[in-house]
């Protein structure tokens, strides 16, 4: 894949994320985060299928959502068992 094509895929992903997702730090509940994780995983699969390339920013965003999800789970767990 040419660098120009990679840049196009990265721009497509960034545009998709800005239009459809909230920042992980702004997410307040698990259902919202799980929805975004599912949608992002579908987008990653689509990019892999169409271009055989997925920008590292997609995986970084996924890691941020997973981290936020873990934080909420830990907080809920702590509040439940105090």
**What local confidence, expressed as pLDDT, does residue 49 receive?**
96
Please choose, from the candidates 19, 2, 16, the residue with its C-alpha nearest in 3D space to the C-alpha of residue 57. Answer: 16
CA distance 33 to 22: 9
Q: What is the pTM assigned to this prediction?
A: 0.88
**What local confidence, expressed as pLDDT, does residue 76 receive?**
87
CA distance 14 to 58: 9
What share of the chain has pLDDT > 70, as a percent? Answer: 99
Could you report the per-residue pLDDT of 38-76, keeping only the tens digit for each?
A: 999 999 999 999 999 999 999 999 999 999 999 999 998
**What local confidence, expressed as pLDDT, does residue 47 receive?**
95
């Amino acid at each position: 894949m040419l660098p120009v094509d990679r840049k196009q895929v990265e721009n497509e992903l960034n545009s998709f994320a800005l239009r459809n997702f909230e920042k992980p730090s702004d997410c307040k509940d698990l259902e919202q985060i799980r929805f975004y994780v599912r949608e992002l995983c579908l987008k990653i699969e689509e990019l892999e299928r169409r271009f055989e390339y997925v920008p590292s920013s997609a995986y970084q965003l996924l890691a941020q959502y997973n981290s936020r999800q873990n934080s909420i789970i830990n907080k809920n767990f702590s509040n439940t068992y105090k």
